[in-house]
Structure 1
C-alpha cells in the first residue's frame, strides 16, 4: 500500500510531548493522591528540561548548520522546532494552571506557600533572621557593565535579574540610566523555606527562597534603589559529542566534554511574568537566542522543587500512595544462599514489587564465596553509596578476577560513573570504559564458580539498571539462571566487550548492534509465515520507546499478513496503529501510573510454541545500531507463564492505560470489564508467581 510518510509515521519528538502530556494528566487527575500530583508536576518539569537540553538542542544545531532535509516523518528541523515550541507553551500553561489549583487544595489540608508580605510580624522577623544568617552569606551579586562582563549562567539554575538606579539622582528620573545585575538563587539551600507557625497552630507555611531574596535584595546593592527583580532560567545544550575515534584516552575526553557542557549554547529562556524590559533585552542580547524559545511563566520557575517539597511534608501519608514495601523473592525465603537455588532452577524477579536486595545479595554472596573465581558486570547508572560497588571492590581485594564495564557516556551520570570507575580501579578491578562509538546499555552479571571438577556460570540478566534507588520507582524484570547456553554466551559477550573477540554465533543471546535487529526480524518473519499457514501468530512487545523506521515497517508488514500485534509502549511511539491496509491488526497502549514502566519484554506465538524474551533494548535506532544491547530468551516454562501474565495484565489495564489512535493522540482505555489497574494488581487477575505468592497488596 502506498501511504505517505506523514500518514505512516508519527514524529518522535511530537510523540514525546504526548508522553509528557500523559504524565501531566496524572497531576490533573483528582483520583491521584494530592501530594503525588505535585510529584507528577515535578516530573513534567524534569522531563521537559531534558527534552529541551537534548532533543530541541539537537534540532537547533541542525537548523543552524543549514540542514533542511525532512526526516522520515516529513519534518524539517526548522518546521519541527516551531511546532514543538507551540505545543510546549500550551503544555506549560496547563502545568501552571494545575499548580495553582493544587496549591488551593493543599491549603485546605493546612499547608500553604505564602509570600513575605502575607506574614505577620514575628514571622517576618524570623524570616529576616534566616536571610541574614543563612542566605545572605552565600549570595553573590554580579553586576553587568563595561568592566564586568556578562557572567556564565549555569544551565537549569535559577537566577534573579535586578534592575537598579542610583540613589543620588543627577537629573530627571526619565534621564537616569538603569543598570542590571544578576544574583543566583543558591541551589544548595532548600527552595521552600519553612515559616515558623502561629502559636498552637497545626498549619504549615512555606516561603519560596527567591521571594525571600527579592524582599531583601536591597542589602546587596547599597547606594542603589531597586527598580525591578524578576526570576529567570536558562537551559543549555547538554548533549555530549566526544571525539571518541581521535581521543587517546576516552576518560579524559569525557571529562573535557563535561566541562564544555557548562558552556553549551542556550536553548531556552524562561522568564518570570512581567519581567522589566531592560533586563529582558540584556538577557536576549547576551544569550543570543536564535529562535523564539523564551517562555513567560506565570508562577515560580522550575517546578522541579515540588518533588522534594511534597516528599518532605510530615504526617501527610493520607495524601500519598499507600506504602508498598518490596518483598524478598519467595524462591529464596527458605535459604540464606542464592547460588544453590540457581543450580536447581531459574528465578524471575519483578521490581519494585520484589526487592532489589536479591541482586545485591547475589553479588555479595559471590564476593565472599572462596570458590568464586570471577565476577563480571556491566554498570550503566549506579546509585549513590551503591552496595554493589563496595562488594565488587571487596571481591577484587580478596583476589578474585573482577571485570566491570562502566559506561562513562551515560547521559547526566558521566561524572558519577567516572568516580565509581576510579574507585573500582583502586580496589584492583579491571575496568573497561565502554566501547568507542557505542554505549554499553546491556544489564548483565556473570559469576564463575569452581564446583567439584568443573566450573559453573551463574548469570543475572535484567531490563533495568543496577540501581537500588530506581528499582523502587521503575518496573523492571530480572532473570537469575545457571543455564549453560546463557552462561557460555555471557562469557563470550564479556570477552567481546573487554578484548578483541569477533562477534560470535550466539546460542541464546541476540546482541546489538550486530545481531539484535536481525533476530527481531527473524522472529517477526516467522510469525508472518505462521499467519499465512493458519497457525497461531501474535507479537506482544513491551518497551519504553518505538521509533526505528525499519522495525515499524516490519510490524506493518506483519500486520498486513494477519499477525495480531499488541504493543505496550510507555513513551515515544512513531507507529500509527489502525491505518486501513497498513496497521489494522496493531494495537498500542501506554501505561502511566505510580511507577515508571521500564521493562522490555517480547512474546511471540511461534505457531503454538510460545517464546518469551527480556531485553535491555528499546526499538529505537540508537539501541539497535549504536549501543551494546542484550536480548535473552526465557527457557523456563513457568517463568514464561509469569511474563505472559504480566503482559496480559498490562493489556487489560482499563484504569491507567491510554490507547494510541491513528491520529497520534491518546485516549484513556474504557472497558465494561471489572476495573483493572495493572500496577496495583486490582481485580480478579492471575498472579505473577505460582503457589499463591503475592508480590503486592491488592488495592
Structure 2
C-alpha cells in the first residue's frame, strides 16, 4: 500500500518550484517576475546553507541517520536534492533569459562584447583601466601564494593560466566590491548594461598579462551555515559575545555548493573542489547570473511604467479601532484582531506607546525574534523603561541570519534599563507574545497580544499574519506564567487556554484531533482545518491520517513544506492540501478543530514541525470572541476557494494549479479589497490576475 509521506527537503524544493512558477507566469507583472526569480535564488542559497549543510554534517558523523518518514539517509537525500536542483536550475536560467528578452521592449538590455561597436569597446577599455583595474586584487595560486579564502556568496572569477613553459596555474579575482558598480552602463547607450563580473571576465588577459588564458568563469561559493549554538556554548562566556563570535565562525564553514557561469575542464573543476574540500557532485552550471540582487536596481529604473508592477496596496485602518480613544480601553471592551498586510500594524504600536506613557501600567513583557532595522517596537519599549516601567524582553539571539541585528537591539534595550534575557538552553523562543500589566485601584488587569508573525513593521506590509489583542484575565495569567518560566530558565509545564510548546502544544493538538475522530466514529460530522507554513511533525501527520481513515474531513492550507501526501486511497483520502504562493508571503497560522457550530479556533506562532512543537517555545491562543472566530472561519473558506494563486497537492507529491469554472478568486486580492471597503475607501480595481481558463 502506498506511503503517505513526502521527504521534507524534496517538499521544500517543490515549494521553491512554485516560487519559480511566479517568475514564469505571464499573469504576473514583468518587474515582479524579476523579484520572484531573485527570491527563488536567495531561497536556494539559504536551503544549501542550512538544510544541505545539516545533512552534510550528518554524513560526517558516519552514522546512518535516516529521515523518520521516508527513511532516506542523509546521503540519499543529498543525492536526490542535487538532481532536483540541477533540473530547477536549468528552468530558472531559461525563465531569466525570457525576462531579459521582455525587458528590451522597455529600454533595458544586457549585452556582452560580441554585441557592441568598436567605439563603445574602446571607451569600456579605458573605463576598465582607470576605474576597475586599480580596485581589484587578483591572486595567482602557487607554493608561495596559497588558495585564498572564498567568502560565502561573494562573486569571483577563476582563470586557468598557462605559463610560457606550458605549466598551468589558477588565477582568482574577487568581484564583490562595493566600490565599483555592479551594473555598468555602456557609454552613449542608455539602458544597455553589463554586469561588472562579466565586464572583468572579458579583461582577464589584461589582468594576467604574460599568461595564456586557457579557460575562465565566474564562480560563487555557498557555505554551510548550520551551527548548533547550544552544543557549543560555554556557560562561562557572555552569551551575547559568544553569539557574535559564532557569527564570525559561520562565515568560514565548509562549502556546500560551487556555481559556475561557464563550462570548465573537468580537471580544473576537480582542482577547485580539492582546494575547497568539496565533492564535485556539488558543482552547478548556471545560465542565470550567480547573484540576481541587481534586479532591484533595474526595477527602480522602470518605476515610470506602472504596468510592470503590482498595483500599489497600502495597509488600511482597521474598523475595529476608533481614533481618539484609548487603545487599552477599546481592548478592555472586546477582543481585537488585526490581519496583516491588509490592515495596518499601527493600533498595536499605539497600544505599546500608550502603555509606555500610562502611569498605571506597571510592566511590559515581550518576546522578540526578528525586528525591523529601524524598530518602532524597540523605541516604545525604551520609552517605557525610561518612564520607570518594568520592561522585560526576551531577545532570541539565535534567530538565524538576524543574530547581528538582535545583538545590537539587545544592547540598546539594556542601555535603556530594560531587563533582557536571551532564551533557554536547548529551546529557541519563537513565540510572539506581549503582556501589559496595569494596576488601578488595587485591581490588576492584563492586556495580552498573541501573534503569528514577528514584531516587524517592514514584514507586516509583506507577510500575511494575524495579531490578537485581549484583556481576558485567564489568558493574561497564563501569559504571565510563560514569562515567569522564561525568567527562571524553564518551560511551561501546564496551561489551560493557551497552547504553549514545548510541553503543552503538540499533545493538545493530538487530543483535539482525537476528539474529532470520536465524533466521526459516532457518525457525526467532524472537521480539522489548519493553515501553516510547513507540516513535518510525524506524530501529527500520523494522527491526521488516522482521522482521515475515521472519516474526519481535513483541509490543510500549507504554503511550503508538506510531508503528508493527501488523497491516498484508504489512508488520506479525506485530506485536501493546497498551497497559496502569490504577491504576499503567506505566514499566518490558524488551527480549527470541529465543525463550524462547535469549532475551536486558534492563531499560533507554531507550524506543525517537530522543531516548533517540541523544540521551541511557541504560543497558540484561542479566538473565543464570536465575531472574530466567524471572521477567521470565513477567511479560511476564502483561501480554500482560491482558484488563481492556489495549487493543489496531488497524491504523488506534485502540485497543480487549481482551475475550475467558478468566478476567479485570489484570496490575497479579496482580503485587500475587503480592507479598503471596511476602511471606507473607494474599492481598488483588482490587479490583472489569471482567469480560470488560462
Q: How high is the TM-score relative to the length of structure 2?
A: 0.93
Structure 2 residue 125 is matched with structure 1 residue 101:
no
Tell me the residue number matched to 1:155: 152
Within 5 A, what are the aligned runs for 1:288-307? 288-290=277-279, 292-307=281-296
Alignment correspondent of 2:62: 66
After TM superposition, the structure 1 = structure 2 runs for residues 434-449 of structure 1, keeping only pairs within 5 Å, are 434-449=423-438
1:206 pairs, out of 193, 205, 208, with 193
CA contact under 8 A between 1:461 and 1:478: conserved in structure 2?
A: yes
Shift of 1:378: 0.9
Corresponding position: 1:513 with 2:513:
no
Change (3 A) 1:441 1:696: farther
Structure 2 residue corresponding to 1:192, chosen from 154, 179, 183: 183
| Residue 691 (structure 2) aligns with | none
- Give matches, 1:421-436, under 5 Å: 421-436=410-425
1:548 equivalent in structure 2? 537
Pick from 76, 79, 91 the counterpart of residue 76 of structure 2: 79
Aligned pair partner of 2:220 in 215, 226, 233: 233
1:480 aligns with 2:495: no
SS in 1 for 2:535: coil
Match of 2:5? 9
How far did residue 347 of structure 1 move? Answer: 1.2
Give the CA deviation at 1:628. Answer: 0.4
Shift of 1:269: 1.0
Aligned residue number for residue 166 of structure 2: 176
Deviation at 1:228, TM superposition (A): 3.9
SS of alignment partner, residue 8 of structure 1: coil
Cα distance change, pair 383–194 in 1 and its aligned pair in 2 (3 A): farther
Q: Give the CA deviation at 1:158.
A: 0.9
1:165–1:177 contact (8 Å) kept in structure 2 = yes
529-538 vs 586-595, which moves further: 529-538
**Structure 2 contact 478–498 (Cα < 8 Å) conserved:** yes
Taking a change above 3 Å as real, the CA distance of residues 252 and 318 of structure 1, as seen in their structure-2 partners, is same
349-358 vs 130-139, greater mean Cα deviation? 130-139
Instruction: Specify which of 524, 530, 555 is matched with residue 566 of structure 1.
Output: 555
Match for 1:346 among 332, 335, 343? 335
Q: Which among 248, 257, 261 is matched to residue 236 of structure 2?
A: 248
- Give the direction of change, closer, same or farther, for the CA distance of 1:341–1:696 in structure 2 (3 Å limit): farther
Match of 1:649, SS state, is: helix
Q: Deviations over 1:114-141 (max 9, x none)?
A: 2245345665566556545654454222
Q: 1:529: how far off?
A: 1.6
Shift of 1:692: 7.9
Q: Cα gap change, 1:28/1:135 in structure 2, threshold over 3 Å: closer, same or farther? A: same
- 141, 146, 156: which is aligned to 2:143? 146
Written as runs of structure 1 = structure 2, the 5 A alignment for 1:667-686 is 667-681=656-670
1:663 is displaced (CA, Å) by 0.8
Decide whether aligned partners of structure 1 residues 309 and 291 sit closer, same or farther in structure 2, where only a CA change above 3 A counts: same
Specify the SS of the correspondent of 2:460: helix
User: What is the TM-score when the length of structure 1 is the normalising length?
Assistant: 0.92
CA distance in structure 2 between the partners assigned to 1:482 and 1:676 by the alignment: 36
Shift of 1:470: 1.4
Asked if the contact 1:645–1:688 (Cα under 8 Å) also holds between the matched residues in 2, the reply is no
1:646-685 aligned at under 5 Å gives the runs: 646-681=635-670
Say whether 1:623 aligns with 2:612: yes
Q: Does the 8 A contact of 2:493 with 2:503 survive in 1?
A: no
Match of 2:582 among 581, 593, 602: 593
Find out whether 1:26 has 2:29 as its counterpart.
no
Structure 1 residues 418 and 586, CA gap change in structure 2 (3 angstroms): same
Instruction: Report if the CA contact (8 A) 1:406-1:432 is conserved.
Output: yes
> For structure 2, which runs of at least 5 residues remain unmatched after alignment?
687-694
SS at match of 2:394: strand
In the TM superposition, residue 532 of structure 1 has moved relative to its aligned partner by 2.2
Q: Tell me whether 1:528 sits opposite 2:517 in the alignment.
A: yes
In structure 1, what is the Cα distance between the partners aligned to 2:338 and 2:557? 20
In structure 2, relative to structure 1, the CA distance for the partners of 1:258 and 1:282 (3 Å cut) is: same
Distance change >3 Å, CA 626–CA 693, structure 1 → 2: farther
Aligned pairs (5 A) from 1:412-427 = 412-427=401-416
Describe the SS at the equivalent of 2:659: coil
CA distance in 1, matches of 2:583, 2:216: 38
RMSD (Å) for aligned C-alpha atoms: 2.4
2:299 equivalent among 310, 322, 330: 310
The number of residue pairs the alignment matches comes to 682
Please tell me whether residue 372 in structure 1 is matched to residue 361 in structure 2.
Answer: yes
Q: Is the 1:437–1:626 contact (alpha carbons within 8 Å) kept by the matching residues of 2?
A: yes
Q: What whole-Å deviation, never above 9, does each CA across 1:52-99 have from its counterpart, x for those lacking one?
A: 111112222222322335322131222221111111100000000111
Question: In structure 1, how many angstroms separate the alpha carbons of the residues matched to 2:145 and 2:55?
Answer: 33
Q: Deviations over 1:378-403 (max 9, x none)?
A: 11111111111222222212221111
What is the CA-CA distance between 1:313 and the residue it aligns to?
3.4
After the TM superposition, which residues 577-616 of structure 1 pair with which residues of structure 2 at under 5 Å, given as runs?
577-605=566-594, 608-616=597-605
My pick for the range that moved more, 499-508 or 116-125, is: 116-125
Mean Cα deviation higher: 483-492 or 509-518: 483-492
8 A contact 2:259–2:290 mirrored in 1? yes
Residues 474 and 598 of structure 1 are in contact (CA less than 8 Å); yes or no, is this contact kept in structure 2? yes
CA distance in 1 between counterparts of 2:360 and 2:115 reads 68
517-526 or 256-265, larger mean C-alpha shift: 256-265
Say if 1:126 and 1:446 are closer, same or farther in 2 by CA, change over 3 A.
farther
- Tell me the residue number matched to 1:111: 108
Shift of 1:184: 1.3
Residue 43 of structure 2 corresponds to 47
1:693 CA displacement: 5.9
Per the TM alignment, residue 278 of structure 1 is displaced from its structure 2 partner at its CA by 6.2
- Secondary structure of the 2:281 match is coil
CA distance in 2 between partners of 1:126 and 1:441 (Å): 55
**TM-superposed deviation, 1:415:** 1.6
Q: Where does 1:383-402 land on structure 2 (aligned, <5 Å)?
A: 383-402=372-391
CA deviation map 1:467-512 (0-9, x unaligned): 1121111111111111111111111111111125663532321100
Report the 3-state secondary structure (helix = DSSP H, G, I; strand = E; otherwise coil) of the residue aligned with 1:447: strand
